[in-house]
Structure 1
Amino acid sequence: MKPLTPRFPTVDRNGFVPAPESIPPPDVKYRQKVPPGLPVHKHPLNPLAFLLRGALIYPDHIAIAHPDVKHPAYYTYSVWAQRVQNLAYALIHFGIKPRDTVAVLAPNAPMIADAYQAIPAARGVICPINTRLTPLEIAYILEHSRAKLILVDYEYVHLVKDTKIPAILSNDTGRAGDPYEEFLSQGRRFSRERGWWGLEPEPDEDAGFALCYTSGTTGRPKGVLTTLRGTYLGAVANAYETKMDINSVYLWVLPMFHAGGWTYPWAATFAVSAQITLRNVSYPLIWNHLRNSSVTHYCGAPTVQIGLVNYPETEKLLKPVTAIIAGSAPTAHLIASLEKIGINPVHTYGPFTRNHLQESWLALPLEERAKHMARQGYSYTTADGVRVVYQTEDEDLQDVPQDGKTIGEIVVRGNLVMREYFTDEKATEKAFKGGYFRSGDLAVMYPDGSVGIQDRSKDIIISGGENASSLAIEQELVTHPDVLEVAVVARGHPKWGERPMAFVTLHPSKTAKWENKHKEFEIDLKAHARKRLPGFATPEWVAVVPGLPKTSTGKIQKVELRKRVAKL
């Protein structure tokens, strides 16, 4: 039987003592009022309940550790819950009303972790903003979201210096004299020790919970509004699917601002896990924690995982760590590389599906097994079934045959789908056409019922009447030992209409090998590709580049590569 004590080791807290206002009263009650008019057999789903339950059962368990900064801070579940309560009261005292938007501009630090719990506790809507955006992009999001207040980290004040929206500054110290800490203290005083009972719970589980903006690579970013219910069920599913519990230690590599941290701010509290916050993606710090902090879980897009496995001091871990990979499809080569160093990849697709290791795959060679694991798999336990469909002439959605070949579009509906694009009825109607969320991702359904993405609809290459998946081509090209990353787009061809063009970055240790020999490398890569791909899918052109254009969240911007190709 597993011990009911945290695997997170006893930490040197560097003499850190939480402010007196962060210490809960001895008679604290982790309970809110029952919204009036509810039947006895029902209560609205709200992910705040996870934090309150954790503080009740394991008050002294480490909740937040923030060690790699000038002013380290450490909070147990009981202390963290009090700080969240203080922030909720401070927001109400400021004037935040139910359904008001509160923006947060911060890296992974205690403030944004607080805000994900406290803003809903005040019945507001949290709008986490990408810290890598420009001031103009941030200004648009602040205006479009109708934000009434900004919680801003000291490092990003310059991004909102021209806004007229009030802001609360955090110096990320957790100590007296920090404006954010004073704001929390004001909340504690305003509460007059009414506690959680004095914070009115949100009666509608379908109320807006978080407003996260898309990267806007092809136009203005859209606000994705999710609900209390969807977040609650998404968090439960993520904790279950990745086997998180009180013995887990979650390392914040994924930016918390990105898509609501993939619901892991609440998956962690549901599991009563410890969380370690990193302000930036630093491979030396990540590896230090993987080796020395009993880390069991982390999330990261493929580009982050590539950097992790190629870090010069990479070594096989003594204890396995679960890596949740999403954001874009990982290659089989990347999955195999992670397994080799003791990292168990859990490949998920949005908040909808994940792949499951099958017993029949265990006897396969690693590279072959990884190809199966690179599929998007099956629906989450709390989600409705995922479909792969094509549209008939009558505009009905028809399922593709489960042959692993016929391509259709992934569509989903149910608990884990967003409620709407904020204040954009036309975009919402288009996305929900046919009664499902239209993902725009093209996939096949395999005989075993699992889903495998082939490409985005705009990225399919039609060559001589054949459909070539850029993703499938990339999966094979990256197996070349000298390739670090690759992106494939269509380029016009006088005979075949289109042919693939590959943009390649070389592994740092191989750049000298191919210096001034890019033509030779192109020949070598094509020879490698011909052994693995049909002729129409083998790249016609190869360009070695120093880096691939990426969005602020690490996705490769193929739209930029297509612009380059258009000029050739």
Structure 2
Amino acid sequence: MVFIINAFQPTRESIPPPNVSYQQKQTSGLPTHLHPLNPFPFILRAATVYPDKLALAHPDVEYPTFFTYRIWAQRIQNLAYALIEAGIQPGDRVAVLAPNSPMIADAHYGILAARAIITPINTRLTPPEVAYILEHSGSKLLLIDRGLMQLVQGLKIPFIVNNDTGRIGDPYEDFLSAGRRFSAEKGWAGLDVELDEGAGAVLCYTSGTTGRPKGVLTTLRGSYLAAIANVVEGQISKDSTYLWWASSLAYPHPLSEGNVLLNNRILPMFHAAGWTFPWANVFAFATQITMRTVDYSQIWKHFLNSGVTHYCGAPTVQIGIVNNPAARPLPRSISAIIAGAAPTAHLIGELEKKGIQPVHVYGLTYTYGPFTRCYDQPSWALLSLEERAKLMARQGQSFATAQEVRVVYPPKSEDDQEVVDVPKDGKTVGEVATRGNIVMKEYFRDPEATRKAFRGGYFHSGDLAVMHPDGVIAIMDRSKDIIISGGENASSLAIEQELASHPHVLEVSVVARSHVKWGERPMAFVTLRQEHVSAWKGKHNVFGDELKRYARTRLPGFACPEWVEVVEELPKTSTGKILKTNLRTIAAKL
């Protein structure tokens, strides 16, 4: 890894004292054979075992910062004491509004060390949405990046601004330094230990596409176990380097009614607590690189020169990576942990040509991120790329530390508590349900929504799927995305998979559009691969006819698109997911 780290000097208060101890306060009243599970002590273990290993690199900014595990641990301790001095009590919520950067990485540890609950907020939300989350969560303090102050103008919540410099004079650095002084060098033994592993760890808010955002409360125990599962499933180790990157800019999108992300974003730490990877990477003693903005050329520089081994992102992000001019075969393999949609055969092939190995997982904010994985089988090596991709596109089986995933029939009535599995025939559609270690504790301050989601003792996801004979689930759609055409249910995801196999298609999204005879029919929004854009310029209707003919060779008639719209970009969320709500609005007006 090539970083010039000697030029950076951490603040004096970031240097741990001589003979620093990483032992926490001794607890009483617990059995000898038990300790409460909590991901926060991962940093103490890492600082003990590899104190001088690079833990956190933030190189692509005006003021680059680099922290070893011992330095980072001290800064986290300082943050915990600073929060306590600011009046934060156990169970209080501390909000964080920041792109991928050292501060939000600190927060995933320091807030838990203070026995409080981290409330990460999506940086792409509007000021009213941010205000609602801060009010609903009851957050007592806000840690905010300098570039996002416009989102909280006029709000009365106390806040600490981070200028992202790591230098003296930065308000966030001054806050940490005050915490060190307040600690009076009592160290880790001066911080109380949370004895309840069922206590809240993270309060995330859903996107709110169908109403007000809902608060999803997850626990210390679940965060610990989900993080370890990601280490196991992602095969992360002390030799791993994980890349975080995000966009901090908004652009008007031609297919949206507001500002959405034009440059794709990979998994940010604010999204479902970064799928618990902020803890997973530290448990594995890995190095993490944080980037504030999207720059695919810069990404490739890190791929080629910084020893990157792992990153996470939706297929739309992977498309941007493999199509960047800087893309080339890598000198070493990189694992791309893919979720949000199934990768197509073409995308899998392009990733593999570059030395990027896709790991397809499925999960939700309610399940700490991934809780299933599509495990590749030895027999797949004998299959064609397209056959292998169809198998890899399935959502798989339960993760390590997760309980079994089920596909169940919908309830017969609102009070029906019976949970019955659909047959393992790969055809009967039901709802994905699960329970156990890595399922949220509750919807925050919403017992009725919690009751509905936990019918029959299982979490009901709202995702529709089939169960194959080999015990592998395959998502068919969100319930709201199923297209009902002439009484037949058509999966928009299945249609997209087939249309995306057309050699000229870069990305595609399918939604329902009203039809006089059939009730609904599929409408496809398509972007073209760059090398084919000029060939179809001024002839998008001709391409639409070509794609419909192609679809008829691969799909039943009711699932073939009735309309095809070629567009320059598809509207996307901050995490790279296609905004079907926007596309449905457009289709409804046609």
TM-score by length of 2: 0.93
Given the alignment, which residue of 311, 326, 329 partners 1:298? Answer: 311
In structure 2, what is the equivalent of residue 390 of structure 1? 409
Matches within 5 A, 1:173-188: 173-188=165-180
Q: Map of 1:508-527 to 2, 5 A cutoff? A: 508-527=530-549
What's 2:141 paired with? 149
CA contact (8 A) 1:335 1:373 kept: no
Within-5 A mapping of 1:62-211: 62-211=54-203
> Residue 108 of structure 1 contacts residue 256 of structure 1 at CA under 8 Å; is this kept in 2?
yes
Q: Which residue of 2 aligns with 1:57?
A: 49
Q: Is 1:418 aligned to residue 410 of structure 2?
A: no
In 2: Cα distance, 1:10 partner to 1:279 partner: 19
Query: Per-residue deviation at 1:46?
Result: 0.5
**Residues 511-549 of structure 1: CA deviation (Å, up to 9, x unaligned):** 221111011101111122122212221111111122222
Aligned residue number for residue 397 of structure 2: 378
Partner of 2:509: 487
Residues 322-350 of structure 1: per-residue CA shift (max 9 Å, x gap): 01112333334323322222111111111
Note the aligned Cα RMSD (angstroms): 1.3
Query: 1:458 offset after TM fit, Å?
Result: 1.3
- What's 1:475 paired with? 497
SS of 2:469 mapped into structure 1: coil
- CA distance in 2 between partners of 1:88 and 1:328 (Å): 37
Instruction: Return the alpha-carbon distance in structure 2 between the equivalents of residues 174 and 28 of structure 1.
Output: 22
Q: How far apart, in 1, do the equivalents of 2:447 and 2:151 lie?
A: 29
1:501 deviates by 1.0
Q: What does the per-residue CA deviation read over 1:195-243, in whole Å, with 9 as the maximum and x for residues that have no partner?
A: 1000101110010101111111111111111100000000000000010
Measured in 1, the distance between the counterparts of 2:336 and 2:30 equals 40
User: Is the counterpart of residue 362 in structure 1 residue 406 in structure 2?
Assistant: no
Partner of 1:269: 282
Aligned to 1:532: 554
The aligned counterpart of 1:256 is 269
Partner of 1:427 in structure 2? 449
Residue type of the alignment partner of 2:405: V
Q: Deviations over 1:421-474 (max 9, x none)?
A: 111111111111121111111111111111111111111112223221110100
| Residue aligning to 1:4 | none
Alignment partner, residue 294 of structure 2? 281
C-alpha distance in structure 2 between counterparts of 1:107 and 1:509, whole Å: 33
For the 8 Å contact 2:228–2:283, the answer to whether it is kept is yes
Residue 564 (structure 2) aligns with: 542
**Pick from 3, 15, 26: which aligns with 1:23?**
15
**Counterpart amino acid of residue 206 in structure 2:** T
Q: Is the 8 A contact 1:283 1:311 kept in 2?
A: yes
Deviations 1:148-195 (A, max 9, x none): 111111111121121111111111111111111111110111101111
Name 2:523's counterpart in structure 1.
501
Q: Residues of 1 paired with 2:344 and 2:435: CA distance?
A: 27
Is the contact between residue 376 and residue 453 of structure 1 (CA under 8 Å) also seen in structure 2? Answer: yes
5+ residue gaps, structure 2: 246-266, 364-369
Partner Cα distance (1:370, 1:399) in 2: 27
Paired with 2:531 and 2:450, the residues of 1 have a C-alpha distance of 47
Post-superposition offset of 1:14: 5.5
Tell me the distance in 2 between the aligned counterparts of 1:548 and 1:528. 21
**Alignment partners' CA distance in 2, 1:234 and 1:191:** 31
Deviation digits for residues 339-380 of structure 1, max 9, x if unmatched? 222111111111210111100101111221111111111101
Contact 1:35 1:202 in 2 (8 A): no
Q: 2:232 aligns with which of 222, 228, 240?
A: 240
Letter in 2 for 1:108: N
- Select which of 306, 318, 339 maps to 1:326: 339
Specify the alignment match of 1:3 in structure 2. none
Distance in 1 of aligned mates of 2:55 and 2:175: 21
C-alpha separation in 2, matches of 1:201 and 1:161: 36
Provide the rounded CA distance (Å) in 2 between the counterparts of 1:161 and 1:470. 40
Q: Whole-Å Cα distance in 1 between the matches of residues 73 and 402 of structure 2?
A: 29
The SS at the match of 1:529 is helix
CA contact (8 A) 1:215 1:552 kept: no
Percent of aligned pairs with the same amino acid: 66
Instruction: Give 1:406 deviation, angstroms.
Output: 1.2
In the other structure, the counterpart of 1:353 is 372
One-letter amino acid of the counterpart of residue 52, structure 1 = L
For residues 38-58 of structure 1, what are the alpha-carbon distances to aligned partners after superposition, in whole Å with 9 as ceiling and x for unaligned?
A: 111110000012111010001
Structure 1 residue 493 displacement after superposition: 2.3
Q: Which amino acid aligns with 1:46?
A: N
Report the 3-state secondary structure (helix = DSSP H, G, I; strand = E; otherwise coil) of the residue aligned with 1:155.
helix
Structure 2 match to 1:562: 584
What residue in structure 2 maps to residue 5 of structure 1? none
Conserved? CA contact 2:343–2:389, under 8 Å: no
Please give the per-residue CA displacement for 1:410-429, whole angstroms capped at 9, x wherever unaligned: 00110000111111111111
Cα pair 2:94 2:119 within 8 Å, conserved: yes
Superposition deviation, residue 10 in structure 1: 5.0
1:316 maps to which residue? 329
Q: Distance in 1 between matches of 2:39 and 2:314?
A: 24
Structure 1 residues 48-95: Cα deviation after superposition (integer angstroms, max 9, x where no partner): 121110100010111000100110110000110000000100100111
Q: Is the 1:14–1:72 Cα contact (8 Å) retained in structure 2? A: no
State the alpha-carbon separation in 2 of the partners of residues 48 and 133 from structure 1.
28
Q: 2:419, 2:299 → 1: CA distance?
A: 45
Post-superposition CA distance 1:2-49 (Å, at most 9, x none):
xxxxxxx25211610111111111221112123331111110000012
**Which residue type is aligned with residue 393 of structure 2?**
A
CA distance in 2, matches of 1:395, 1:147: 35
- For 1:335 and 1:269, locate their aligned partners in 2 and report how far apart those are by CA, in whole Å: 29
Aligned length: 560
What letter is aligned with 2:338?
Answer: I
Q: 1:335, 1:374 within 8 Å by CA — same for their partners in 2?
A: no
Given that 1:402 and 1:444 are in contact with CA atoms closer than 8 Å, whether structure 2 keeps it comes out as yes
- Structure 1 stretch displaced more, 368-377 or 269-278: 368-377
Three-state SS of the structure 2 residue aligned to 1:116 is helix
- Pick closer, same or farther for the CA change 1:249–1:31 going to 2, 3 Å: same
Contact kept? 2:435, 2:458, Cα under 8 Å: yes
In structure 2, what is the Cα distance between the partners aligned to 1:461 and 1:103? 39
Q: Name the SS for the 1:193 alignment partner.
A: coil
